[in-house]
Amino acid sequence: MHNFHDLAKRCKHYRLKRFFLFLIIGFVLLCFAAGFFLYSKQPKTPSLSVSKEKEVVHTEKSKRQKQLKKPVQKADKTTFTKTRKRDDLSKKSLARYSLQFLVVKKENAYRAKKRKKVLEAIGFRNCKLTPYSKYIYLSCNATDNKKELNKYIDLAKRKKIDFFVDVHHYTKKETKTKQRTKQKAEKKQAIKKSRQASIAKEVPKIKKAPEPMLQVQNINLKQLEQSFSKTPSYNTALLLARNYYTDKAYKKAIYWAKKASEFNKESADSWLIYAKSLYALGRKKQAKQLLHIYLQYEYSDEVKSLLNQWENAQ
C-alpha cells in the first residue's frame, strides 16, 4: 500500500468537506425554518375594504397565503360569518377590477413610487397608490369591465410581473351615497358662487358701508351707478364716492359725495371725501372751509384731526 498516506489524507479532506457541507445544509435549513416561522407569525395584510376579495392569484406566495387563510376562516366562526356577509353583499353588489402589483408598508413608500414609475413606463395605466392602515397598495388599470383587463394581464405575464386581479365590490347604496355626496359638493360650490355674485348685488342694500376701501375696489362702478339710479341711497352714493376717490377720479368723487350728503347731511364720511377730493385737486382753502363749516354744526374727531393735520402742514 504505497499510497496509504495519500489515501488517509484524501479521506480526511473528504470527511472534512462532507462535514462542512452538512453544516451548511443544516444552517440553510435552520434559516429556512426560522424564516418560515417568522413569516407565519407576521400579521396578514388587510384588504382595502370589507367587501374586497382577491380573485385570481398568480404568485406562489399568495397561493401560500390563501392556503393559510382558508383554515383560519374555518376555525374562527366570527370571520366565517363575516365572509358570508361579504358574499351576500357581493351578490348584490357591483365590481371594480384592478391589477394589484404591490403591497408595502408606509415606511417603504418610495418602493411603491419607484414601482409605479416602472409600471407606467411598461404601459400600465392609471397606476394609483392607495394608503390603507399601515400599508400602501399599488394598483393599475381600475375598470368596471373585467375584459378590459385581459390585455394588461397578458402584458404582466409577458413581463413576468407578479400581480393579482383585485376585485372591489361595492353596493348600489354606496354608489348612491357617493352620488349624493357629489351632488352635495356640487350644490355647495353653486351656493358659494351664487353668494359671491349676490354680494355684488347686495352691496348697495348694506346700511353700513364696509370700512376698508379695498373691499369695494373690484365692484363694478357702472353697476353701482345703475343700481343707484334704480334705488338711490346714501350707502351706494358714498361707496361710489370712495371708489372714485381711490381711483383718483376726484371730480366724480366730489359729485357722489355731494349726492351722499343730500341723503345724510350729518354723516362725516361724505363730508370727508368731499373735502379730501378738493384738497387733492389743490383747492385746499375750500377744503378747509368745508370742514370748518361741518364742525360748526356737527362734531367729529376724524374731521377735526384731519383739519389740524392740514393746518399744521402749512
Partner 1 sequence: MDYLELAQCFEEKISSGYYHQNSGVVRIKNQIANIIDNDTKQLLFLTGEPGVGKSAFLKYLESKFSYDIIKFDIPFLEPIDFVKILIKKTGTKVDNYSLEELIKQVVFLYKNSNYVVVIDEAQLLSNDMMEIIRILADSKAFWFILAMHEHESKKILQEPQFASRPHKILQLQNISLEECREYIYSELETKNATMLANTITDKYIKYIYKLTQGNMRMLKKLLYISFLLIDYAQKNNEERYKAFNKCIITMAAIETGLINA
Residue selected from 4, 37, 110, 297 as contacting partner 1 according to rule CB under 8 A = 4
Q: How far is 85 from 169, CA to CA, in rounded Å?
A: 12
φ and ψ of 56, to 5 deg: -110, 125
**At closest approach, how far in Å is the CB of 27 from partner 1?**
23
Task: Report in angstroms the alpha-carbon separations of 105 from 36, 131, 190.
Answer: 20, 9, 40
**At closest approach, how far in Å is the CB of 5 from partner 1?**
9
**At closest approach, how far in Å is the CB of 71 from partner 1?**
40
Q: Which one, of 65, 85, 68, lies nearest residue 77 by Cα? A: 85
- Position 37 contacts partner 1 (CB under 8 A): no
Grid cell for residue 296? 360748526
**At closest approach, how far in Å is the CB of 20 from partner 1?**
14
Residue 10 or 63: the one with the smaller Cβ distance to partner 1 is 10
Residue 17 or 265: the one with the smaller Cβ distance to partner 1 is 17
**Amino acid sitting at position 74:** K
- Position 10 contacts partner 1 (CB under 8 A): yes
Residue selected from 13, 63, 117, 159 as contacting partner 1 according to rule CB under 8 A = 13
**Contact at 8 Å (CB) between 260 and 241?**
yes
**At closest approach, how far in Å is the CB of 166 from partner 1?**
53
Residue 15 or 193: the one with the smaller Cβ distance to partner 1 is 15
Binding window for partner 1 (CB under 8 A); candidates: 4-12, 194-202, 232-240, 250-258:
4-12
Q: How far is 139 from 101, CA to CA, in rounded Å?
A: 6
**Contact at 8 Å (CB) between 141 and 125?**
yes
Residue 18 or 84: the one with the smaller Cβ distance to partner 1 is 18
**At closest approach, how far in Å is the CB of 9 from partner 1?**
10
Binding window for partner 1 (CB under 8 A); candidates: 10-18, 37-45, 188-196, 242-250:
10-18
Query: Restricting to residues 15-34, which ones interact with partner 1 according to CB under 8 A?
Result: 15, 17
Residue selected from 1, 38, 121, 313 as contacting partner 1 according to rule CB under 8 A = 1
Q: Is the dihedral of CA 199, 207, 204, 225 positive or negative?
A: negative
**At closest approach, how far in Å is the CB of 15 from partner 1?**
7
Our measurement of the distance from residue 195's CA atom to the centroid of its chain's CA atoms, rounded to an integer in Å, reads 24
**Contact at 8 Å (CB) between 169 and 95?**
yes
Buried b (16+ CB within 10 A) or exposed e, 280-300: eeebeeebbebbeebeeeeeb
- Position 14 contacts partner 1 (CB under 8 A): yes
DSSP 8-state code for residue 231: S
Binding site for partner 1 (CB under 8 A): 1, 3-4, 7-8, 10-11, 13-15, 17
